[in-house]
Structure 1
Amino acid sequence: MLAVLGGIAIIVRPSLASDVALEYGIVPVLGVAVLAVALRYWIGLALTSIESATLPTVEGRASISVPGGAFDRTIADRRVSSITRLRAREAVLDRLRSVAEQLSGRDRTGPEGTSAGSDDAVDALFEDGAGLRERLRDARTGETAFQRQVRAAVAALADRHDGERPSIELDVTADEPVPTPTQPGLRATNRWRLLKPMGLTAVGIGAVFGSATLLLVGALVGGVAVVAAAGSAPSTSIRITRQVESTQPTPGEAVRVTIEVENVGNRFVPDLRVVDRVPEGLSVTAGSPRYGTALRPGATATYDYRVTSVRGRHEFGDAALSVRNFSGTLERVEDVSVAGDAAVTYDVRRAMERAVPVRDQTSRSVGRVVTDVGGSGVEFHSVRQYRTGDPLNRIDWSRAARGEGLATLQFREERSATVVVLVDARREAYVAPETDAPSAVDRSVLAAAEITSALLDSDDQVGLAALSPRQCWVSPGSGHAHLTRLQAALANADAFDPRPPEQAFKPAIRLPSIRKRLPGVAQLIVLSPVCDDELLTVVRQLQASGHSATVVSPDATGGVTPGRTLARIERDRRLSKLREAGVRVVDWDPADPLALALSAAARRWS
């Protein structure tokens, strides 16, 4: 303020600066003091920066992981310390040895020394025998020797598993940290922060050397700084309305979301940024939920974006709002409630005519499972002596014509199966080939809806359960009303939430409860990506309890990075172990419809 007043005085009387400087020796002293204050501001300036509010990141699904992604990040990270690198190296070698042992048909828990061959084979790939040519190539490509050795080891393991050596590509993309959103409230942005020290510096030098020009420049710069600092707080009188094109779309359908932003206040909003909080289970396929504009009083701005998902009810949150004043020195961040549509529901209920292969068993309901019990049916079983009351159409008249007496034909009876569809909804099952692809749990829930509908159409008794810390159980039943109960559970049960559970699944606690509820004749259809060994233990225990199991496994592996290749090999080995244990396995590729995978598996079993 003093600089501004001094500048006005100099404009009125230009000779004032030189007269004061000559007649009053105190003025240079004051100039030095002003320079000292300016120096303080310059030092503070070096320690601060222009701050801008960080609005929420809503475009990604952080809860969905990619099999092998953690392994790829481990070998790609160069920012870790030497000790951490050594630990990471040992963890990588241990993982490679484990896969090598599985491919060699040995178990790491076996007798000491049985895994030496596999360990030596893997360790040999990490011997640093690179020549000058290899080192120059690594320097040119930016790949470290360790990364090159990992690629070679994984390629060798894939060659042993597939019979073909693939081209392994290293994924060196570093994970971008998710920024923390700015807390709601009014804050200074430090914009125009250069003006204050610049003005003070000019005034100080002008006072010391008696320069009217510098005093004038300092006064003008200081005046701008004062005006910028005197700006009022921005207005947040904003109304937001959301319109969803279809609140109940079919699974996988892209839905347009339209956002209308209106300035309902009486002040101009020069800088407005809006972020519509997209539910975590939705993927943004087109456009952006972010928008920036300026609005005069009563003006309206509209923008739209598209989202998609495969199942579940997804509730939108409040919109995040950031508003700056005209000079940009003050910024207010607020969460604003949104009028209009608040949710979108992808209904899993869709009946598809599909025969689902089940095991032979006996029950008292007529259905399509062929048994070894003679009775009514379509396939010949045996001949027995005629009994009074036997249907005439089952008498062997050819035998009676030959004079051999009356006999009754018996056929293999077809009876209904009791099936419980068990969906793997553990935290580990929320995996996908890509972060924006449907997770294995999404595909499993949709498959469960199709399978239960097909089994009920065939007069089978069908139940539903979840492998999850969030419980779900529907007892086996039949009929249209029971189908409605099953579909409601698949659509609304907490166990099948699109977001993974926070707690871990504990088999020792949850599995006895499931076994206790299972009918003695029930067989299981387990839907799981089979992404870890815990699922093998669960299926084996259920099979040992007398429940025949069929595992339908949506494949969530993909890609040719070292981590993804190892994840694919490990999954294939788990599926092989299930088959060896007498479990029927349907390996379901994401590119194929479920009907095709089931039909191919049924041909192999027949």
Structure 2
Amino acid sequence: MTDRTVERLESGEWALAATLSLAGLGIAVGSQLLVVAATLPLWYAAGAVLGSEGTAMVRVQRQFVVSDDPGGHEDADAGTGTHADSGAVSAEPGTTVTVRTTVQNAGSETIVDLRVIDGVPDALPVVSGSPRACNTLEPLEETTLEYDVELRRGEYAFADPTIRTRDLTGTVAQTWQASAAGDDTVRCTPVVDAVSLGDGTNDYAGEVPTDEGGSGLEFYAVREYEPGDPVGSIDWRRYAATRDLATVEYRAERATRIVCVVDARSSQYRAATTTHRPAIERSADAAKRTFETLVAAGHPTGVVGVYDDQVATVPPGTDAETRRSVARILNAVQDSPQHGHWSTFRTRTNDFVTDLPRRLPGEAQVYLFSSFVDDDPVELVEALRARDYAVRVVSPDVTAAGDDVATRLEALDRGTRLARARRAGARVVDWDRDQSLGVLLRNAVGEVGTR
């Protein structure tokens, strides 16, 4: 708790002026009522002089309640979030968290005028309710501030609420910050969920079954023996019955090589409303989770960040350096629209729709994260499909909350672009902000496909 600031609101000058004015007017017009009324400001001034400076005592408790769970999990604490440690709650970006701050009068005197402002971090928008309150509290009576904030990526600490009280005369004010017990920190560090894979593989051994024979566990076919075939693959039962040599083949398994393309152009720094996260933050979050899951499963994965006139590329891989490079790109994309943070990863491009398909490795699977508010993303999908790339689209919707005619027309245009992407052969997920991110990522891609 910080030191209290006591402020006495001076009122003597105006009270004296009011008294003299009323008394003079009463004498001039011969009104006894005005003369008597002239004494009232003096009583107010006397009350200000005698105003109490008694110390108000309050007790503050704060609680965070996770209203929805983007990860698709249900909390054992009936929706109170994941507590990594005392006073901290972990949730995913975009989650709506309800903050309940209770202030109790812990003294023996009534607090006539109590005003409270909770210490909400500037970076967290309040989407409903208010972190302010004004009340009168009897001894042991309490009041609760309840409001909702939408989480952004990162860690945020709530400050102690600011308390301001006035005495009965309204002339003595005390201001201080009262220590709040309970929750005080929220973290937006999403846990990676399992992500299914689509088709598109390379020649590295892995977990995706293919339509070709090779080393593996699942039976594929029996063919004629060829010199050099491993002895262990010979069908000895057939040889014992027919004296013909044959080789048993098993379904080969390959690793999937994947590239996550994140649309980071200036058009992506738009949100549905000023209180919602922009499309680029949602796209980068989904790309980061997809990348981490695929790499953990052993699939070489890379990232391409597309800016207005530049492209930042990290080739597919699974090593620690690939992870660090991808983290730097995605963090820079989320933290600032300035592409200077991409450093050595960036290269100039005049037309990423034409250039990008040439940069991608052959037989790669592409995950495109874009809000599709212009034609460039759908043209990129069509260019990729023309080169036979498997494409998965995750598109944050930034038009859903608009009621004006312009936004509704833009929503229709966006729907037409997504329909074009589907006709081109891409698997498309239209990501409404209320959809769970974990569930969405599982639906964004199909079951493990074949080569």
When structure 1 is superposed on structure 2, of 268-277 and 430-439 the one drifting more is 430-439
Structure 1, unmatched stretches of 5+, are 1-184
Contact 1:355–1:454 (CA<8 Å) still a contact in 2? no
What residue number does 1:328 align with? 170
- For the residue of structure 2 that corresponds to 1:376, the secondary structure is strand
Q: Which residue identity does 1:460 align to in structure 2? A: H
Matches within 5 A, 1:49-64: none
How far apart in 2 are the matches of 1:567 and 1:419? Answer: 31
Instruction: Name the residue aligned to 2:206.
Output: 366
Instruction: Give the equivalent residue in structure 2 for 1:120.
Output: none
Work out the CA distance in 2 between the residues paired with 1:336 and 1:316: 12
Q: TM-score, normalised by structure 2?
A: 0.62
Among 11, 25, 36, which residue is 1:205 paired with? Answer: 25
Alignment counterpart, residue 557 of structure 1, candidates 396, 399, 411: 399
Equivalences for 1:212-251 in 2 at 5 Å?
Answer: 212-218=32-38, 220-227=39-46, 230=49, 241-244=60-63, 246=83, 247-249=88-90, 251=92
Q: Distance in 1 between matches of 2:279 and 2:101?
A: 30
The one-letter amino acid paired with 1:594 is L
Aligned partner of 1:594 among 437, 440, 444: 440
Give the drift of 1:225: 4.9
Kindly indicate whether the alpha-carbon contact (under 8 Å) linking 2:208 and 2:448 is maintained by their aligned counterparts in 1.
Answer: no
Contact 2:15 2:42 in 1 (8 A): no
Aligned to 1:148: none
Match of 2:227 in 1: 387
After TM superposition, the structure 1 = structure 2 runs for residues 114-513 of structure 1, keeping only pairs within 5 Å, are 199-218=19-38, 220-227=39-46, 230=49, 241-244=60-63, 246=83, 247-249=88-90, 251=92, 252=95, 257-260=100-103, 270-279=112-121, 288-294=130-136, 301=142, 303=144, 305=146, 307=148, 309=150, 312=153, 313-328=155-170, 341-352=183-194, 354-359=195-200, 361-368=201-208, 370=210, 374-376=213-215, 378=218, 386-393=226-233, 406=245, 408=247, 413-424=252-263, 428-429=267-268, 440=279, 444=283, 447-448=286-287, 451-452=290-291, 455-456=294-295, 458-463=297-302, 478=318, 493=331, 495-496=333-334, 501=336, 503=338, 511-512=346-347
- C-alpha separation in 2, matches of 1:505 and 1:557: 29
> Counterparts of 1:473 and 1:229 in 2: how far apart (Å)?
70
Q: Report how far residue 279 of structure 1 moved.
A: 3.7
Distance in 1 between the 2:307 and 2:173 partners? 44
Preserved contact between residue 320 and residue 334 of structure 1 (Cα < 8 Å): yes
CA contact (8 A) 2:51 2:169 kept: no
Report the equivalent of 1:175: none
Structure 1 length-normalised TM: 0.49
Q: Give the residue type in structure 2 aligned to 1:569.
A: L
Change (3 A) 1:562 1:443: same
CA shift at 1:355, angstroms? 2.0
Secondary structure, aligned partner of 2:159 = coil
Report the Cα offset of residue 348 of structure 1: 1.4
Spell out the pairing of 1:512-551 with structure 2 (5 A cutoff).
512=347, 520=361, 523-533=365-375, 549-551=391-393
What is the CA-CA distance between 1:566 and the residue it aligns to? 1.3
SS of residue paired to 2:114 = strand
Q: Give 5+ residue unaligned stretches, structure 2.
A: 65-82, 350-355
The structure with the largest alpha-carbon Rg is: 1
- Cα distance in structure 1, aligned partners of 2:53 and 2:314: 55
Give a deviation string over 1:180-232, Cα, whole Å, max 9, x none. Answer: xxxxx9999999999777644432222323444432322x1331453366576
Larger helix fraction of residues: 1
Aligned residue type for 1:370? T
Once residues 184 and 306 of structure 2 are traced to their aligned partners in structure 1, the CA distance between those partners, rounded to angstroms, is 30
Distance apart, 1:344 and its partner CA: 1.7
Distance in 2, Cα, partners of 1:236 & 1:475: 65
Letter in 2 for 1:291: A
| Aligned partner letter, 1:292 | C
Q: RMSD of the alignment, in Å?
A: 5.8
**Distance in 2 (alpha carbons) for counterparts of 1:278 and 1:319:** 9
Shift of 1:275: 1.4
Instruction: Give the drift of 1:565.
Output: 1.6
Answer whether contact 1:426 1:504 (CA < 8 A) is retained: no
Structure 2 SS opposite 1:327: coil
Q: Secondary structure at the match of 2:89?
A: coil
1:88-99 matched pairs, under 5 angstroms:
none
Give aligned pairs, total: 405
Alpha carbons of structure 1 residues 519 and 562: separation in structure 2 relative to 1, 3 Å: closer
**Deviations 1:30-77, CA, capped at 9 Å, x for gaps:** xxxxxxxxxxxxxxxxxxxxxxxxxxxxxxxxxxxxxxxxxxxxxxxx
Letter paired with 1:217: A
CA distance in 2 between partners of 1:320 and 1:428 (Å) = 39
The CA distance in 2 between the partners of 1:262 and 1:285, in whole Å, is: 28
Pick closer, same or farther for the CA change 1:229–1:310 going to 2, 3 Å: closer
Is the counterpart of residue 566 in structure 1 residue 432 in structure 2?
A: no
**Identity fraction in percent:** 24
**For the Cα contact (< 8 Å) 2:268–2:279, is it kept in 1?**
yes
* CA distance, structure 1, for counterparts of residue 51 and residue 43 of structure 2: 15
The residue identity in structure 2 corresponding to 1:328 is G
Equivalent-residue separation in structure 1 for 2:26 and 2:315 (angstroms): 89
CA contact (8 A) 2:60 2:180 kept: yes
- Map Cα deviations across residues 458-479 of structure 1 (whole Å, 9 max, x no partner): 542235676689x999875559
